[in-house]
Structure 1
Amino acid sequence: MEILETIGFDLGHGETAVAKAIVESIEPPQMLEINHKKNQITALGWHPQLGYLVGEQALIQAGVSQLVISFKQRPNNDPNYRKTICTFLATYYRQLQETRQIEGGENSYFYVGCPSGWSISDREAYQKLLIEAGIPQLNVVPESRAAFMQAKEAGKLEYEKLRSSVLIIDIGSSTTDFTLVKSLSEVPIDFGSNALGASLIDKAIFERTLANHEQSSLLEKVFLEYPHHQARCELACRKAKEDYFSNEQLYSDPQSFARGFESINEQIYFIPQVNKLMIEEILNQPLAELGQKSWLESFRHSVSEAKEKLEQLNIVPKFVLMTGGASRMKFTHLVCQEIFSEPETLLRPDPEPERCIALGLARVGRWDLRAAAFKQEVNELLDSQKLKQLIERHIPELIESLIKPLADGLLENAVRPGVKDWQQNKIRTLADLETSMKSRAENWLVGDRSLQIINKQCISWFNHKIQPDLAAVTDPICRKFQIPRSSLRFEDSIEPTFVNPELRIGDAILADTVGFIINVVIGGGTLASIITLILTGHLTWPIALVYGASVMAAGMELNRKTVQETIKTNLDIPSWIRSSFMSDRKIDDMCEQIKPELEKVLGEQLTANQQAFDKLIGKVEQGLQKALATKVQEAIILIQ
């Protein structure tokens, strides 16, 4: 069955959110709802009559006898953990299907996030565990990749930033991860502190509230016997924390408090409360989970460590993207601004961190599928005979474009100066003239001026013949995947920063073509044919007609070829006769007369060298394939 939609499933330690993207559309993904909310507390409850409940319903439904919260962690073999994760995901999946928000089955592909600090083996184990929930198609990807994709496609990262280096700081409930995305690479370089999560702050508030509670001993017994009451109280602590960091200015007064509330029974209440002074104490108290470092100290150390690792790679990130629900805590922004200072690095917290990962996961899934299909279409083009046929079809036009400038260049740089030297008696015999013209021709052909001429003609041929036909087969691919046509063209792009100047025609392609032409003219007999044409038709035989009697040897009549060879190698015509026989005007006339013949010989010689042109076609085809493959790697970042 066809995959119609990608589902971004952000199973967080504190909250869970789900988004959906349509594969064949570039419209932004849509958030899905459970219990009429787009974000849910990560909670799983058991009700004797209603069965398993998730999110808010598990918290508020009367009669829930079992409740588990904040259960996301690195995969392990604990059967309770495995059962909780699978049941939670299966319940979510069932509710999304029942409310007809997803297609389900083979039509839906789930992308679930994990901390980017997890190893590949952790991801594989987590993916294997989640598949046990009964979801047919599921993939686990780093949450940092989702954050990057969401920022990219939501327009929060300019193209220049996308091509440079972006540091993603994902502050979650259970972990804080640092991920570098460089030069459009979709494979982050990961490092991070996997114990530094914002839930440690919730726990510290819980322990502080419990210690100060007038019935703390009784509460400890209740929590031990009824763990779901402790889970609710921990959530109350989390709500107090979130309220504080959402309205910090309100709670700077020592008499003002952000509060949570949980009723154990009609006589016992659990009311966590915090203000600025209390939060500062909590953030600076040593925590066993962090090796007796405080939360603030550990965060500052982790950000500094990330910067040091980047400096070791000689990287200064152009952009720091902060995401994760805990990135709303203002002090984290201040720490990051202090360590990564502007203007070298710009700091930008995600405006909706609680939805960023779910939306990004849905985008990652759609991008993966569309990018794979895009590369497959281009590969099919490269594997077909279309490129070869396209080049082969335009070879006669390349030959035609080269004939006139090559003929003009050879006349002006080899023929005319050679004959002029012979006229002025600087060259003794016509055989010497032949050697001189050949040397001059070869020197000119490998010189800068000749290379410029051939370069110009080859580039013009590529741009006006190859490129339009190539665009005719690549443009439909770009239209299908809704990216600029210039993405697979060798010309300026709508986004100039995405153009590699080396790929306008391709230095390798150009070098192969120019080298081929020179080799054919010099080494393929073309040059010898040209010089023979000039000497035989315009010098040797006319001289033989004038000096025929003087080249008879011992009364023996010479045949035409023998006369020509004898005159060419032996006859040293006096200088005063040379200037009369071949005046400057006659040299000009001769060059004009030779030009059509020269062009004809060049055309015939180049066209006749089919074997060499087959090699050229192969080289140009390989060059185009390589250049297109490089363009594809740059173009896929534009796919949505």
Structure 2
Amino acid sequence: MQVLETIGFDLGHGETAVAKARIESIEPPEMLEINNKKVQITALGWHPELGYLIGEQALIQAGVTQLQISFKKKPNNDLNYRKTILNFLATYYRLLKDSKQIEGGTTSQFFVGCPSGWSVSDREEYQMLLKESGIPLLSVVPESRAAFMQAKEAGKLDYDKLKSAVLIVDIGSSTTDFTLVKSLHEIPIDFGSNHLGASLIDKAIFARTLANHEDKALLEQVFEDYPHHQARCELACRKAKEDYFSNEQLYSHPQSFARGFESINEQIYFIPQVSRVMAQEILNQPLPELEGNSWIQSFREAVNVAKEKLDQQGIVPRVVLMTGGASRMKFTREICEEIFPEPESQVRPDPEPERCIALGLARVGRWDLRASAFKSEINQVFDSKKLKDLIERHIPELIELLVKPLSQGLIDKAIKPGLKDWRNNKIRTLADLEDVMKKQAEDWIKSDRTRQIVNSQCVTWFNSKIQPELAQETDSICRKYQIPRSSLRFEEGINPDVVNPELSIGDTILADTVSFIVNVVIGGGTVGSIIALILTGHLTWPIVLIYGVSVLAAGVEITRSKTQDAIKTKVDVPSWSRPMLLNDSKLDSICEQMNPELERVFREQLTANQEAFDELIAKVGQELKNALNNKAEEAVILIQ
């Protein structure tokens, strides 16, 4: 069956959220609910009668005998870890299907996030593990990509920023990941061992609360015998932390504090408290998990390292996109703004970090499937044979566009100057004139000016003949995927001065065509034919008529061909008579009469070299296909 919907599954160390996007729609994804909540605590409980419970239900349901929280980590062989994460995912999947929020089966494709700092092998192993949960279609993608896609789709990044450098800072419960998105490609920034997660703050609050508790010894025994009680108390610490950092202004007074609450029994309570003073102490205390550094010190160092790595590459991010639940902590934003100051960089925290990744994952999934279908259509419509046929069909028009300016240019730059030099007695015989004009013709054909002429004519040909037929095909694809028609058009033609420098179509067509023309005109004997045309048709017989056969060497038989050869090689026409033979009016008349014949020679020579044209057609067709693929790669970012 065809995939109809993508499910963004943000399985976080602290919280889990799920969103759904319909493939054929461009509407924003919708958040899905479990236990009437769109965001769940990542918790899995076991109840002897009710089976597996997740989220808040696992925490509050009486009779739960086992409770696991904060179990997201790199894949490993720990059987308890593998069992926990698979049961959590399978239970979530079942609840979503039972509530009719997803189709399930092969019509629903899941996209599960992972930290961008994980290696490709970690990601692949994680994907293999999660597939054991029984979900038929499941892929693992970096959470940073989801954050970028969510920002793009929500209109927080314009097209220029999408194509520039964007730094994503994902502050999660277990890790803090830095990812550079440059020209739409993600590049994780690795700064070594990454244990910088906000759950370390939860643990510090837990340790401080336990240390100051009047029943500390009793609680330690309870936690050892009944680990699920400790899990609940740790969650109470997380809630107190989140309450404080989400509402810091409320707790600015020394006597005010955020608190959590967990009842062990009717007599023993665990009540973590977070005041302004306590928060600063916890953030600045040395932590063994961070090699003796404090949380705030480690975060600042991590941001600095990311900045240094970007500086080494000469990259200044236009946007620093902050996500993850811990990005709500005001000091994290202040540190990022200090290290990446405006106006060079803009720091933008996501307003809903707890939903950002789930929504982004659903968008990534939809985008991946639609982009794949989009590029497949491009490849089908514009296969190499079709493009080759298109170019081949319009080669006669290209030849016609080249013939006139090449002919006129050769007259102006080689023939006229040569004849004037002969008239001015700078050249002795007509044979010498032929050599000089051939050299001038070759120099002109190879000159930058000739390249400009061919370039200009190729642009005209491409824009008037090739581009309109391409647009007929590409416009319908753009309409289907709801992207601008210009995304797949070569609106500027193939002029390399104005075409996107990432596209090679202009340079390739122009370079190949100019090289081809030079080879045909010089290597194909065109220049020699032109010189013979000039001398035999327009200059030789006037000399014979004026001087008569007496000018010829004795014993030369009067035949057309031998007369021409003899005059070319033996006759040195006196300098006084040359202006009479070739005055300005006669020179202009010769060139005017010669132009149609030159055009005919060019046309015949170009048309006759079909083998060379076949090679040009094939190569230009392939380059045009590559250029379309490049434009398609750029266009896919516009697909919703």
TM-score relative to the length of structure 1: 0.94
Distance across 1 between alignment mates of 2:188 and 2:473: 33
Report the counterpart of residue 217 of structure 1 in structure 2: 217
Report the counterpart of residue 442 of structure 2 in structure 1: 442
Distance across 2 between alignment mates of 1:286 and 1:421: 91
User: Alpha-carbon deviation of 1:424?
Assistant: 2.9
| Aligned ranges 1:549-588 → 2 under 5 Å | 549-550=549-550, 557-588=557-588
Q: Partner amino acid for 1:535?
A: L
The SS at the match of 2:169 is strand
The SS at the match of 1:538 is helix
Q: Is residue 2:158 matched to residue 1:158?
A: yes
Report the counterpart of residue 511 of structure 2 in structure 1: 511
| Aligned ranges 1:229-378 → 2 under 5 Å | 229-378=229-378
Q: Is residue 2:195 matched to residue 1:195?
A: yes
Distance across 2 between alignment mates of 1:619 and 1:610: 14
Q: Is residue 2:421 matched to residue 1:454?
A: no
1:436-484 residue CA offsets vs partner (Å, 9 max, x unmatched): 2222222222223322222211111122212222222333333333322
Structure 1 range deviating more: 32-41 or 331-340:
331-340
Report the counterpart of residue 23 of structure 1 in structure 2: 23
Q: CA contact under 8 A between 1:544 and 1:564: conserved in structure 2? A: no
How has the CA–CA distance of structure 1 residues 552 and 260 changed in structure 2, closer, same or farther, with 3 Å as cutoff? Answer: closer
Report the counterpart of residue 393 of structure 2 in structure 1: 393
Report the counterpart of residue 72 of structure 1 in structure 2: 72
Q: Partner amino acid for 1:356?
A: C
1:260-311 residue CA offsets vs partner (Å, 9 max, x unmatched): 1122222222221111011111112222222222222222222222222323
User: Alpha-carbon deviation of 1:499?
Assistant: 6.7
User: Alpha-carbon deviation of 1:91?
Assistant: 0.5
Report the counterpart of residue 600 of structure 1 in structure 2: 600
The SS at the match of 1:368 is helix
Report the counterpart of residue 467 of structure 1 in structure 2: 467
User: Alpha-carbon deviation of 1:112?
Assistant: 0.8
How has the CA–CA distance of structure 1 residues 190 and 141 changed in structure 2, closer, same or farther, with 3 Å as cutoff? Answer: farther
Q: Partner amino acid for 1:469?
A: E
Q: CA contact under 8 A between 1:179 and 1:191: conserved in structure 2? A: no
| Aligned ranges 1:161-180 → 2 under 5 Å | 161-180=161-180
User: Alpha-carbon deviation of 1:187?
Assistant: 4.6
Q: CA contact under 8 A between 1:458 and 1:514: conserved in structure 2? A: no
Q: CA contact under 8 A between 2:189 and 2:306: conserved in structure 1? A: no
Distance across 2 between alignment mates of 1:549 and 1:337: 96
Distance across 1 between alignment mates of 2:555 and 2:181: 91
Q: Partner amino acid for 1:69?
A: I
Q: Is residue 2:208 matched to residue 1:208?
A: yes
| Aligned ranges 1:480-495 → 2 under 5 Å | 480-491=480-491
Distance across 2 between alignment mates of 1:82 and 1:234: 22
Distance across 2 between alignment mates of 1:616 and 1:464: 19
Distance across 2 between alignment mates of 1:197 and 1:89: 22
User: Alpha-carbon deviation of 1:95?
Assistant: 0.7
Q: Is residue 2:44 matched to residue 1:44?
A: yes
How has the CA–CA distance of structure 1 residues 581 and 195 changed in structure 2, closer, same or farther, with 3 Å as cutoff? Answer: closer
How has the CA–CA distance of structure 1 residues 337 and 193 changed in structure 2, closer, same or farther, with 3 Å as cutoff? Answer: farther
How has the CA–CA distance of structure 1 residues 358 and 155 changed in structure 2, closer, same or farther, with 3 Å as cutoff? Answer: same
Q: CA contact under 8 A between 1:145 and 1:188: conserved in structure 2? A: no
Q: CA contact under 8 A between 2:48 and 2:64: conserved in structure 1? A: yes
Distance across 2 between alignment mates of 1:312 and 1:453: 44
Q: Partner amino acid for 1:147?
A: A
Q: Partner amino acid for 2:79?
A: P
Distance across 2 between alignment mates of 1:551 and 1:212: 127
User: Alpha-carbon deviation of 1:415?
Assistant: 2.1
Q: Number of aligned residue pairs: give it.
A: 636
How has the CA–CA distance of structure 1 residues 82 and 431 changed in structure 2, closer, same or farther, with 3 Å as cutoff? Answer: same
Q: CA contact under 8 A between 1:54 and 1:92: conserved in structure 2? A: yes
User: Alpha-carbon deviation of 1:423?
Assistant: 2.6
Structure 1 range deviating more: 347-356 or 399-408:
399-408
How has the CA–CA distance of structure 1 residues 304 and 580 changed in structure 2, closer, same or farther, with 3 Å as cutoff? Answer: closer
Distance across 2 between alignment mates of 1:379 and 1:484: 19
Distance across 1 between alignment mates of 2:586 and 2:552: 28
Q: Partner amino acid for 2:444?
A: W
Q: CA contact under 8 A between 2:171 and 2:177: conserved in structure 1? A: yes
Report the counterpart of residue 131 of structure 1 in structure 2: 131
Q: CA contact under 8 A between 1:10 and 1:17: conserved in structure 2? A: yes
Structure 1 range deviating more: 501-510 or 133-142:
501-510
Report the counterpart of residue 615 of structure 1 in structure 2: 615
The SS at the match of 2:112 is strand
Distance across 2 between alignment mates of 1:295 and 1:215: 29
User: Alpha-carbon deviation of 1:382?
Assistant: 5.0
How has the CA–CA distance of structure 1 residues 448 and 290 changed in structure 2, closer, same or farther, with 3 Å as cutoff? Answer: closer
How has the CA–CA distance of structure 1 residues 192 and 344 changed in structure 2, closer, same or farther, with 3 Å as cutoff? Answer: farther
Structure 2: state its 5+ residue gaps: none
How has the CA–CA distance of structure 1 residues 210 and 435 changed in structure 2, closer, same or farther, with 3 Å as cutoff? Answer: same
1:346-371 residue CA offsets vs partner (Å, 9 max, x unmatched): 21111110011111111222222222
How has the CA–CA distance of structure 1 residues 260 and 124 changed in structure 2, closer, same or farther, with 3 Å as cutoff? Answer: same
How has the CA–CA distance of structure 1 residues 502 and 103 changed in structure 2, closer, same or farther, with 3 Å as cutoff? Answer: closer
Distance across 1 between alignment mates of 2:559 and 2:220: 125
How has the CA–CA distance of structure 1 residues 549 and 213 changed in structure 2, closer, same or farther, with 3 Å as cutoff? Answer: closer
Report the counterpart of residue 635 of structure 1 in structure 2: 635
The SS at the match of 2:482 is coil
Report the counterpart of residue 115 of structure 1 in structure 2: 115
How has the CA–CA distance of structure 1 residues 436 and 234 changed in structure 2, closer, same or farther, with 3 Å as cutoff? Answer: same
1:141-178 residue CA offsets vs partner (Å, 9 max, x unmatched): 22112112212222222322222222211111111112
Distance across 1 between alignment mates of 2:577 and 2:390: 55
User: Alpha-carbon deviation of 1:374?
Assistant: 2.6
The SS at the match of 2:185 is coil
Superposition CA RMSD, Å? 2.2
Structure 1 range deviating more: 55-64 or 453-462:
55-64
The SS at the match of 1:506 is helix
Distance across 2 between alignment mates of 1:581 and 1:308: 79
Q: Is residue 2:144 matched to residue 1:149?
A: no
Q: Partner amino acid for 1:262?
A: E
Q: CA contact under 8 A between 2:504 and 2:627: conserved in structure 1? A: no
Give the % identical residues. 74
Q: Partner amino acid for 1:482?
A: Q
Distance across 2 between alignment mates of 1:465 and 1:515: 21
Structure 1 range deviating more: 459-468 or 220-229:
220-229
The SS at the match of 1:576 is coil
User: Alpha-carbon deviation of 1:381?
Assistant: 4.4
How has the CA–CA distance of structure 1 residues 420 and 298 changed in structure 2, closer, same or farther, with 3 Å as cutoff? Answer: closer
Q: CA contact under 8 A between 1:174 and 1:196: conserved in structure 2? A: yes
